[in-house]
Structure 1
Amino acid sequence: MTLAWVNQYLDVGERVVGVETLHGGMTAEMRKLTIGTRDGVTRHLVLRSFVDPYYLENAKDWLNREAGALTLLTETDVLAPGLVAVDPTAAQCEYPSLLMTHLAGRSVLDDEGAEARVPLLARQLVAIHALRPAERPQEFRTLTTAESVVIPEGGDATAWAGAIDVIREPAPSYEGRFLHRDFQPGNVLFDVAPSDPARTRITGVVDWAQPSWGPADLDVAHCCTNLALLHDPSWGLWFAQTYEKAGGSLAAARNERLYWLVRDAMACSEEVALWAKAWQEAGRTDLTTSILERRLDTYVTGLMNALG
């Protein structure tokens, strides 16, 4: 069914000649499709399908939002896939799916070269937050509560109790920005020059399933948490500083910055095992759940010491 649907959007004489599973995502299955053309060359498309029953209930909303975001981004300087087709209710596909163009580059999760990539991430996020769409996406949502936080075994009880108290408070006021809502190294593609890291560049940003309107701090906080767990807890606050150096604007008050940083870290506490699984599938086999839990504990403790 899905192949027949894809075929509707190919040019005359084209056909799917290869399928490659892409790893590193948590919510959807991603496949790179190799398309054979009439003149003997090939091109690629990417198929995103929601298969896991846990995520199916959100598939229609997420796919429609992604389709809208990809359409919007074609008129901006932010590099993103182009929308080819979407079937958000699985009317023609086996599962709710979206077909998009394939971007050059790859996500890079290695520690090596991270110092060169992080400033690029910061500048890219500043560019995303500078977008002013004619129609705003829906307001951001956060689902984590004080009761849903999962404290890592052996975690600093005092730091975590303080962090949980932080998110019991009402969200601070903020100036709204266009948000990606899952901006992190796994959703950014790079063209890496191993012999000259200074030539490394971003070729695109992917996974636009939850574009939102909200505080820039929320996107920054999510990338901070990812970098802290992916590389080292110290990278968290460093990314926030790098974002500001790139021209981004964050909450002025320490307690407001702390709120957003802690809120994202608390949300991560519920999904550490899922993060570990996704990163291991993407090649970071060294990142076990226990290692990520220890890094998250160190990161949360560091946030409370620095800003609490």
Structure 2
Amino acid sequence: MNGRHPALSDRALRWAADALHPEAEVLSVQQLHGGISSLVHGIELSFGGARRHVVLRQFDNEEWVREQPDLALREAESLLRASQAEGVQTPRLVARDATGNGCGRPAVLMTMLEGSVVLEPADTGCWVDGMAEALARVHKIEAGDFRWTFAPYCDVSSLDTSSWSAIPDQWQSAADWLAQSRPSFTPRFIHRDYHPANILWDNGAVSGIVDWVNGCVGPAGIDVGHCRVNLAQLHDVETADALLSSYRRYAGASFDYDPYWDLVAMIDFAYWPPEVYAGWTALGVSGLTREMMCERLDRYLLSLLDRISLHDGGRRG
């Protein structure tokens, strides 16, 4: 066996192999980079003369597991629901260990998709358009009785950007606007962590969407907004706006844009002093600084405040 990583125990390897086939043998193991909240490994196995590639996610963040003990179950159920998307590849569930009794940690075993993450594309327009189309297809999945529902990560009433932002007063204005009544929305099955590092590409096209642990029922605007704020920090406001334009075209009348959800998504990034996302650097992006992240968030906020002033005449603000 080549490429073994010490974070993957013999117990975890045996559990993964047995889940695929009792006679499966492990050929190689490779730690996969890009995520920062769990251990993810690609495993190559052999049985019956065939080779299979799977991905094992182990939830090793003890605080996260204490707060959300159903993480493995949630991702497993999200994978099953996501598999209903037409025209979009998602990992297929192989096995789950909700408690860690078999693997040693709560874990999900899934198929490996072809492709790689692209963060600095040669053709930004096609890149953004592909992400938007794939997301619109996900949002066509029936929400049904999926048990997990959307909730904001941060309490906007305690937002304080004075330690890092050049425009803290504008951030306060945004927080005050959000504190008013929440708009209604059509419940959708959403990814909840949709951003470029969770999208795979092959031959210039989206080949898959990964990392479904946060799947839930909520507003489509949260997925759009989460991706947009990532694009604003990774690239610029113009790229974030291009994603919105493309998504609106693919979603059509099923999507009623409201800047409220953009702001909710952005607060997750502004609640604490911004940093360069470790997943980007792990995937080879260089040249970004904390100062750039702060400046780009400020710039993006100003663009959203402009949208608020135009949206239905600022009907809530």
| TM-score, scaled to structure 1 | 0.88
Structure 2 gaps of 5+ residues are 1-10, 310-317
Shift of 1:161: 1.6
Matched, 1:61 2:77: no
Q: Secondary structure at the match of 1:86?
A: strand
Q: 1:71 to 1:258 in 2, by over 3 A?
A: closer
Q: 1:137 to 1:114 in 2, by over 3 A?
A: farther
Matched, 1:115 2:130: no
Aligned to 2:291: 290
Alignment check: 8 A CA contact 2:17 2:45 kept: no
Shift of 1:36: 3.1
CA distance in 2: counterparts of 1:101 and 1:272, whole angstroms: 36
Aligned to 1:33: 43
Alignment check: 8 A CA contact 2:25 2:45 kept: yes
Aligned to 1:89: 99
CA distance in 2: counterparts of 1:158 and 1:238, whole angstroms: 27
Q: 1:236 to 1:2 in 2, by over 3 A?
A: same
1:98-149 superposed Cα distances (whole Å, 9 cap, x missing partner)? 1110000111111432221111111111111111154334221112112453
Within 5 Å, which residues of 2 pair with 1:230-241?
230-241=234-245
Alignment check: 8 A CA contact 1:25 1:278 kept: yes
1:9-42 superposed Cα distances (whole Å, 9 cap, x missing partner)? 2335431121111111122111111223453x63
Query: Which of 149, 160, 174 in structure 2 is aligned with 1:163?
Result: 174
The answer to which of 131-140 and 231-240 deviates more is 131-140
Alignment check: 8 A CA contact 2:190 2:223 kept: yes
Q: Secondary structure at the match of 1:246?
A: helix
CA distance in 2: counterparts of 1:133 and 1:46, whole angstroms: 26
Matched, 1:270 2:280: no
Shift of 1:46: 0.3
Aligned to 1:212: 216
Within 5 Å, which residues of 2 pair with 1:117-132?
117-132=127-142
Q: Secondary structure at the match of 2:269?
A: helix
- Please tell me the residue identity of whatever aligns with 2:149: E
CA distance in 1: counterparts of 2:46 and 2:137, whole angstroms: 35
- Please tell me the residue identity of whatever aligns with 1:245: R
Q: Secondary structure at the match of 1:210?
A: coil
Identity of aligned residues (%): 29
Alignment check: 8 A CA contact 1:111 1:231 kept: no
Aligned to 2:33: 23
Q: Secondary structure at the match of 1:91?
A: coil
CA distance in 1: counterparts of 2:114 and 2:179, whole angstroms: 43
Q: 1:8 to 1:183 in 2, by over 3 A?
A: same
Query: Which of 203, 207, 231 in structure 2 is aligned with 1:203?
Result: 207
Indicate the RMSD between aligned Cα atoms, in angstroms. Answer: 2.1
Alignment check: 8 A CA contact 2:114 2:207 kept: yes
Alignment check: 8 A CA contact 2:150 2:216 kept: yes
Aligned to 1:104: 114
Number of residues paired by the alignment?
296
